[in-house]
A and B are shown apart, each in its own frame.
Chain A
């Protein structure tokens, strides 16, 4: 156990800072809190990063990535968030990319990864279905093999950003005769294929992030199957295991804290700014402390990357529990800070914050509900 600062990491941080200062175009800098940047901003930023050789910050060098350690990845994310850099295309970078690197044939890898690195191909994830939320393995979308094609029929739901994605990676049932987990396969599908319909779902924040995606006799070349038939469930477990340290959305939490502090200086209550009043400040100070603890928890989880043990897995679920709870409480408090502006659709102060708070109700539902996570933790940690 050693908590002394690592000079090589500090040097790395400086390298990232200098790069951002010199290469992040001012018109791409976002001042608002936003989970996902506009597509064109993400594309331009991806090209700039790729030009530097940083097109895949989370992947090993042998897969065309930077080969950064998890500590370095966290520093990169943190500095990018501080500088207001656009978001990366997370589905490709954090979810599909590692799957392709691990399971794809050389031809499949070549067909997709260069396009991802160049920012040309954006992805969405087709997992959930109307009847299969927490019980994902019960999914019913079928992929029937006919010669050199799969014929896909079924429906996906809660598909984030399907309306701006070029491709979808999805789970479909290729065998109904075996145990439910064993009959699932992992397919890549071009969203322009005939028979795919995307229908928007407007969420309670009034925004369009979510969609329903319908598949009606959609023809998919058999070459788009990743791994073998029936491997979909184990690929999914691999994919979700890679996700843990990032489920905390630490850069967003840090952005919330910065926003809170900024608001406390600009909002006046009575005669003085909130920033001068201890009863508001004590609440912000509590969030700041909790965020410090959570950031350390993220580092611990990241340090266990690749560890397949019970504790490493459970810590990821615990991180999700604590981080999503904090996201919700911080956004609720910011709405409280807004006072009379809080309930207004077009507020004078705090534009978008109330919507963000509404959107954050999803945090404890997506990525495995917090109730599912609690079940996982109780089982892994205590055998209950």
Chain B
């Protein structure tokens, strides 16, 4: 294992950091939040021009052939800058889910257009009762062959506003939570029977609730759940990396504040109780960063079963750390930390939202527990 950036990775990291510094500072970001549009199309084009969307897509589909580590490097910087663009939903979950599918035709047609930014897709997979469990699918279909008509409601669709097409999970057979009988379909934006209602999230980003009332859909070849879980695994790594960046920046901002804020005639950073709290926060950050590395290693090396359990543990541990560190950061700021104009509260908001995305802590821990119960039962036999 090598924990240091090579030259190309360093260049990628620097280029994202430079963009954030020059074009996406806190004021610019707050203007985008105030506009309530979930980011801007112009910025999306810059993501494409800089090659970031294409970074982890194979060359045969118009990408640069990088690994999940490249995605993580970009996401960590986006986390530092609290980027609200539909990056996670479209550039990571959308692209990687499609890439993981067995539908060569759809991949060849669509992936290059995602990479160059001319199109954007979102994945409509979660439902109210699913709570982030991808095999809980109540959305049904009618019709035969490759063209289906879908009925159901999908929630918390990241990047769902303004997408050109949607990957939708649908139940073809079996009970509501059966692992078999799930397919992915493509629904074009503007299809009759498809309605998109934007849902604003507390961190200023935008998702959508999507209602399918007989909307026309084209079936993707292959096991839908397998492709979806692969995409979700990739997105989990991305979100974990983003949170590591967010925690890191929240701690830096807080350290700056402790060095400048004066009370009782001294900087508050001179108080041991606050110093020790900062030490605990950064120790928790480094544990979380270590867990991110575990997740990235698992994503690169492990078989699906091990990977799913490891990533679930990573999501639970890292979102837990992010909530706790960013909450502490507000506390260390005192009253000013409670205000909208102060950056620190926005880091906490992102941490809270992130827990609910891609399946919350309870669901993730259930996955880890199920995996452990299986292991213990096997050992007993």
Q: Which residues in A have their C-beta under 8 angstroms from that of B6?
A: 1-2
Counting CB contacts under 8 A, is A286 at the interface? yes
On whether A382 and B3 interact (CB within 8 A), knowing A281-B373, A293-B294, the answer reads no
A3 with B283: CB separation less than 8 A:
no
Interface centre among A265, A282, A284 (most CB of B within 10 A): A282
On whether A374 and B376 interact (CB within 8 A), knowing A1-B4, A3-B69, the answer reads no
Chain A proximity mask over B219-255: 1 for CB below 8 Å, otherwise 0: 0000000000000000000000000000000000001
Q: By the criterion of a CB under 8 Å from any partner CB, how many residues of chain A are at the interface? A: 48
In this complex, what residue of B is CB-closest to A300? B3
- 24 inter-chain pairs at a CB distance below 8 angstroms, sorted by A residue, are A1-B6, A2-B6, A71-B1, A261-B376, A265-B376, A275-B377, A281-B376, A285-B365, A288-B313, A289-B317, A290-B287, A290-B317, A292-B310, A293-B290, A300-B286, A303-B1, A315-B286, A321-B279, A377-B279, A377-B282, A377-B283, A381-B255, A381-B278, A384-B274
A317 to B275, CA, bound (A): 14
A294 with B2: CB separation less than 8 A:
no
Chain A: residues with CB nearer than 8 A to chain B? 1-6, 71, 261, 264-265, 273, 275-276, 278, 281-282, 284-286, 288-290, 292-294, 296-297, 299-300, 303, 314-315, 317-318, 321-322, 371, 373-379, 381-384
Counting CB contacts under 8 A, is B42 at the interface? no
Q: Which residues in B have their C-beta under 8 angstroms from that of A314?
A: 282
A2 to B290, CA, bound (A): 14
Q: Please pick, from B1, B274, B317, the residue contacting A299 in the complex, using a CB distance under 8 A.
A: B1
In this complex, what residue of B is CB-closest to A265? B380
A292 with B294: CB separation less than 8 A:
yes
A374 with B279: CB separation less than 8 A:
yes
On whether A297 and B286 interact (CB within 8 A), knowing A289-B316, A378-B278, the answer reads yes
B290 with A6: CB separation less than 8 A:
no
A289 with B314: CB separation less than 8 A:
yes
A303 with B3: CB separation less than 8 A:
yes
A318 to B276, CA, bound (A): 11
Q: Give chain B's interface secondary structure class.
A: helix
Q: Which residues in B have their C-beta under 8 angstroms from that of A378?
A: 275-276, 278-279
Q: Which residues in A have their C-beta under 8 angstroms from that of B368?
A: 282, 285-286, 288-289
In this complex, what residue of B is CB-closest to A264? B376
Interface centre among B5, B284, B313 (most CB of A within 10 A): B313
Counting CB contacts under 8 A, is B34 at the interface? no
Using a CB-CB cutoff of 8 Å, which residues 14-42 of chain B contact chain A?
none
On whether A281 and B369 interact (CB within 8 A), knowing A3-B69, A384-B278, the answer reads yes
Q: Please pick, from A261, A290, A300, the residue contacting B379 in the complex, using a CB distance under 8 A.
A: A261
Q: Please pick, from B9, B272, B294, B377, the residue contacting A375 in the complex, using a CB distance under 8 A.
A: B272
Counting CB contacts under 8 A, is B288 at the interface? yes
CB distance from B125 to the nearest CB of A (A): 24
User: Looking at the complex, which of B138-146, B150-158, B295-303 is the stretch in contact with chain A?
Assistant: B295-303
A3 with B1: CB separation less than 8 A:
yes
In this complex, what residue of A is CB-closest to B297? A3
A4 with B300: CB separation less than 8 A:
yes
A288 to B371, CA, bound (A): 11
B3 with A275: CB separation less than 8 A:
no
A20 to B380, CA, bound (A): 26
CB distance from A69 to the nearest CB of B (A): 11
Interface centre among A297, A314, A376 (most CB of B within 10 A): A297
Q: Which residues in B have their C-beta under 8 angstroms from that of A294?
A: 287, 290
7 smallest beta-carbon distances between A and B, as pairs: A289-B313, A378-B275, A3-B297, A374-B279, A293-B291, A377-B279, A275-B376
